[in-house]
Structure 1
Amino acid sequence: MSYDYLFKYITIGDTCVGKSCLLLQFTDKRFQPVHDLTIGVEFGARMVTIDARMLLDQQAMNGVLEYRVTLLAILDDFASCAGQESFRTITRGAAGALLVYDITRRETFNHLASWLEDARQHANPNMTIMLIGNKADLSHRRAVSKEEGGQFAKDNGLLFLEASARTAQNVEERAFVKTAGKILQNIQDSLFDVSNETSGIKVGYGRPQGQTGARDGIVAQRGACCC
């Protein structure tokens, strides 16, 4: 199956904030409220079409209005391995990251600075990070205001949104696709060396540049959902 780029993502944050559920909702369009913790590496992938008009520099696109991008998201129980070699290795080779907290659990928000520090210590300095306040469907139990999440993102140069893995609110077009659009913009601005495998970006094959592609569905998905 042809694509223009493959982007490697990681998802980070405390346990049971919904990292696996966000991934499953994106790849499989379903919610599975299983409460087993994710142990070891879990991944899923899906091909999407990114509209290049979302980018600021349209002239740099050379007439290409769409890019077919395979998004490969990888996660594990990082709470047990942050700072260890496995965390450093996975983080170093990522183009994007979803930093996730649970809006109903204050402590998961309080830990964001530590997660962000660890990620930036080991990651490509141009890695795009999207802050996600998950479980927006439980706003009646909110412990973290949307304004607080937005301010943390602003202070740290992150993209931000609230989402719900249960209802799929903001999961596809906002969480994953918007992050991919920012990565594409960084490629156009020559912030990534796509020939370097540690960039988390792989140049695709099988379709000449300039040919637009239609939206595709799931490419592959593996693993179960956690909290």
Structure 2
Amino acid sequence: MPFNDYETDATELLETYDFLMKYIVIGEAGTGKSCLLHHFTHNSFKDHSQHTIGVEFSSRTIRLGEKRIKLQLWDTAGQERFRSVTRSYYRGAAGAILVYDITKLSLIASSFPSSRESFQKLSRWLADARALASSHLVVVLVGNKSDREEEREVEWAEASRWAAENDVHFLEASSLTGDNVEAPFMLAARSILLSIESGALDPEKAGSGVSYGDRALRRVNSSSRLSFGSLSRGQRRPVKLKVKNWVPGSQCC
């Protein structure tokens, strides 16, 4: 099934789902974390975005294969003064969207670190997430603002090498145009589902960042193994994804 054919639902009043997953969105201030998340949840660009103060919460229910998954999305502030507050929300996270800015520093964003600095500080963000979140945390590195290629400061190849060295997924996206915005959230969910299927991750274990929803609980007694169909195929590796071309089970993941 093509990536764009996944059905998504964000507004059902009495929704049912198979799994509930906790995600954190992390990275330096000014990298576009809130705009990326807003485009994912509202399918539109967030004009006049302000600094996130502490943590903001949102959610969206997605469909991946035959599974309905509700994502709890915690958007964390990137400024140092909020670090002690935001770190407490890392606990029990199953997925992390780690964002940096690929572009050169603009005059408007002079109060933010340069994109080179936002990239160089990724290791610190990753270390904090892995120390505090689920032991099976799935991390997707996102190079944001890919629509501004002429202002690029961090090359795709460099970020791809960093992702491979640190065992995380990688792609680039644009919170302005919406290009590849859904991919990191879907990719993390797919990887988490594979861990459940393999038995490496137990949703009933405290701190896993995943729990069963009503739909899964109604079926759990009828099968000792949850099947994800085509989700079992493919290999995990850092990739440069394009939403319109990604097909689950291909070598891209």
TM-score tier by shorter-chain length is 0.7 to 0.9
Alignment TM-score, normalising by the size of structure 2: 0.73
Aligned partner of residue 67 in structure 2, secondary structure: strand
Which structure has greater strand proportion? Answer: 1
Return closer, same or farther for 1:87/1:39 CA change in 2, 3 Å cut-off.
closer
What whole-Å deviation, never above 9, does each CA across 1:144-170 have from its counterpart, x for those lacking one?
Answer: 000011000000000000000111111
Contact 2:26 2:125 in 1 (8 A): yes
Deviation at 1:189, TM superposition (A): 1.8
2:131 to 114, 118, 121: 121
2:159 matched residue in structure 1: 149
Provide the rounded CA distance (Å) in 1 between the counterparts of 2:197 and 2:124: 31
Provide the rounded CA distance (Å) in 1 between the counterparts of 2:78 and 2:117: 16
1:61 matched residue in structure 2: none
Provide the rounded CA distance (Å) in 1 between the counterparts of 2:49 and 2:67: 36
2:148 matched residue in structure 1: 138
Return closer, same or farther for 1:50/1:107 CA change in 2, 3 Å cut-off.
same
Larger Rg: 2
Provide the rounded CA distance (Å) in 2 between the counterparts of 1:99 and 1:4: 25
One-letter code aligned to 1:73: L
Contact 2:55 2:86 in 1 (8 A): no
Of all paired residues, the percent bearing the same amino acid is 40
CA RMSD of superposed structures (Å): 1.8
2:112 matched residue in structure 1: none
Aligned length: 195
Provide the rounded CA distance (Å) in 1 between the counterparts of 2:54 and 2:82: 10
Return closer, same or farther for 1:125/1:107 CA change in 2, 3 Å cut-off.
same
Provide the rounded CA distance (Å) in 2 between the counterparts of 1:204 and 1:92: 20
Aligned partner of residue 48 in structure 1, secondary structure: strand
Contact 2:35 2:46 in 1 (8 A): yes
Provide the rounded CA distance (Å) in 2 between the counterparts of 1:143 and 1:206: 46
One-letter code aligned to 1:77: A
Return closer, same or farther for 1:138/1:153 CA change in 2, 3 Å cut-off.
same
1:199 matched residue in structure 2: 208
1:81 matched residue in structure 2: 82
1:98 matched residue in structure 2: 97
One-letter code aligned to 2:101: D
What whole-Å deviation, never above 9, does each CA across 1:94-144 have from its counterpart, x for those lacking one?
Answer: 000000000012111011111111111212221000000000001110000
Gaps of 5+ in 2: 1-14, 104-114, 220-225, 229-253
What whole-Å deviation, never above 9, does each CA across 1:7-35 have from its counterpart, x for those lacking one?
Answer: 11001100010111111101100101324
Alignment TM-score, normalising by the size of structure 1: 0.81
Q: Which has the higher contact order (CA 8 A, sep 6+)?
A: 1
